[in-house]
Chains A and B, each alone.
Chain A
């Protein structure tokens, strides 16, 4: 099937959801203000001997005590509308992920089905048994957390926690910002959480790593408290052999491929030239920049200070170029974002850009 219309539909739904939420917020405030005004004015109107409806809009002629139920009704309608949009977006994302891509096969998928004489290949991945809980890094334990979906999707969707998996979180940030229709589909089914990525399905216990002392989510998380991101990270930990393995660092190109299933590449920045780097950044494809360990030499350490770069080998989501053709970087830590980096300086400080295609055109 053609994927482009489905991608467009997911993107349109994402925009629609953001617009609908903004409108519903305004409606809620207006309803609350109007209802509060009515309850304040009704006794005054009665005291003045005026009919209750005098000077008030017909819809505002409500008996005392209706204000709160009215706001609750608006909240309920808003919740239903947003959930309907979410469900449709999830359905479309699953459709994208379960659609076989002709001519290309995930190297991580199982052996191909027999060409003839065997059973017909399944269209979607089968539902596996519950995955073993991936081994944790120190200072964390598992606790039950329901799946909750984010309100909005963008580069801020994912924040790194107390594990050194910037390669995965930066990949999630750039996909969320540049190709949100390629994000994994995550759903709660029969007491488990299903994470669908191209060619693979993970069935996880509804638990997430939390800090031993505080009970807060220990690793990747979202600023709005939704749990899609930590469940995707948990599935990646199952794939990678445990959180303690993710914490040893890794390659964003592998994370991009795991998330999207799309052809994924790396570009050696020092050999590429400014124009090629700029063209790739402006192409709109998901792109992750990998810095060299900047603290290892004096020039690198000075540049790290000047541009607010972490002095370590670190992955950043690239969000674009500014009007002076400086590279705009998003730190997966969710804080201490770098200052814009000129292209010629970028070539000295960064070793590679990992990226993936967003479609097969």
Chain B
């Protein structure tokens, strides 16, 4: 599952969106089917749950540098995080760093 810069991506019944970067951390918003929104920082190896399914952050990538007057949506296809299904061993890894 690739989380992209310019739009939320559906993950099962939920949605994940990119909300910030502090390399190697990325700030991801998770919108659960019931409407509950959570936001947290994640680094490679962290695990998050979306729609009842657990995913591990395999890699992160900061957004490219854009001009100040870049049109809205520019570079929206850039992949900022790659999520893979979490198996039992990996899911015991570190959790997310909670942010504001």
The residue in B6, B10, B31, B74 that gathers the most chain A C-beta atoms within 10 A of its C-beta is: B6
Q: Does A211 contact B (CB under 8 A)?
A: yes
Within 8 A of A (CB), among B44-60: none
B9 is an interface residue with CB less than 8 A from chain A: yes
Size band of the interface chain B makes with A: 35 or more
Asked if B7 and A163 sit within 8 Å, CB to CB, the answer is yes
| A287 interfacial by beta-carbon distance below 8 Å | no
Q: How far is the CA of A162 from the CA of B76 in the complex (A)?
A: 10
Q: Top 7 closest A-B pairs, CB basis?
A: A164-B76, A249-B73, A164-B6, A315-B72, A164-B73, A249-B74, A313-B70
Q: Give the docked Cα–Cα distance between A101 and B65 (Å).
A: 43
Within 8 A of B (CB), among A271-307: 290-293, 295-296, 301, 304-306
Given contacts A163-B7, A333-B8, A333-B17, contact A295 B63 (CB under 8 A): yes
Q: Is B86 an interface residue (CB 8 A)?
A: no
Q: Which residue of A lies closest to B70 (CB)?
A: A313
A333 touches B63 (CB 8 A): no
- Whether the Cβ atoms of A296 and B66 lie closer than 8 Å is yes
- B37 and A165: CB pair below 8 A? no
| Cβ-neighbour of A304 out of B20, B66, B73 (below 8 A) | B20
A-B contact pairs, 18 of them (CB 8 A): A162-B4, A164-B6, A166-B6, A167-B73, A247-B77, A249-B73, A292-B68, A295-B62, A295-B63, A301-B21, A306-B100, A308-B19, A312-B5, A312-B66, A313-B72, A315-B72, A351-B68, A352-B69
In the bound complex, residues from chain B placing their C-beta under 8 Å from that of A251 are 71-72
Contact between A249 and B71 (Cβ–Cβ < 8 Å)? yes
> Which residues of B are found within 8 Å of A336, using beta-carbon distances?
17, 19, 29, 31, 37
Find A160's partner among B7, B65, B67, B69 (CB 8 Å cutoff). B7
A249 and B6 contact, Cβ closer than 8 Å, known pairs A166-B73, A335-B17: yes
A295–B6 CA distance with the chains assembled, in angstroms: 13
7 more CB-based (< 8 A) A-B contacts, given A250-B71, A335-B31? A160-B7, A166-B73, A248-B76, A249-B75, A292-B68, A311-B20, A313-B70
Q: Are B8 and A160 in contact (CB under 8 A)?
A: yes
The interface residues of chain A lying within 8 Å CB-to-CB of B10 are 162, 211, 214, 216
- Which residue of A is nearest B68, CB measured? A292
Instruction: Report the minimal beta-carbon distance from B34 to chain A, rounded to whole angstroms.
Output: 13
- Chain B minimum-CB-distance residue to A352: B69
Q: Is the CB of B20 within 8 A of A295?
A: yes
User: What does the 1/0 interface line of A31-47 toward B look like (CB < 8 Å)?
Assistant: 00000000000000000
Q: Least Cβ distance of A259 to chain B in Å?
A: 16
A158 to chain B, nearest CB (A): 13
Q: Which of A162, A214, A247, A310 contacts B19 (CB 8 A)?
A: A310
* Contacting pair A314 B8 (CB below 8 A): no
Instruction: Report the separation of the CA atoms of residues A154 and B27 in the bound assembly, to the nearest whole angstrom.
Output: 30
Shortest Cβ distance from A167 into B: residue: B72
Can you name the residue of chain B whose Cβ is closest to the Cβ of A288?
B72
Contact A313 B99 (CB under 8 A): no
In the bound assembly, the distance between CA atoms of A314 and B4 in angstroms comes to 13
* Residues A249 and B70 in contact in the complex (CB < 8 Å), given A293-B63, A311-B20, A312-B75: yes
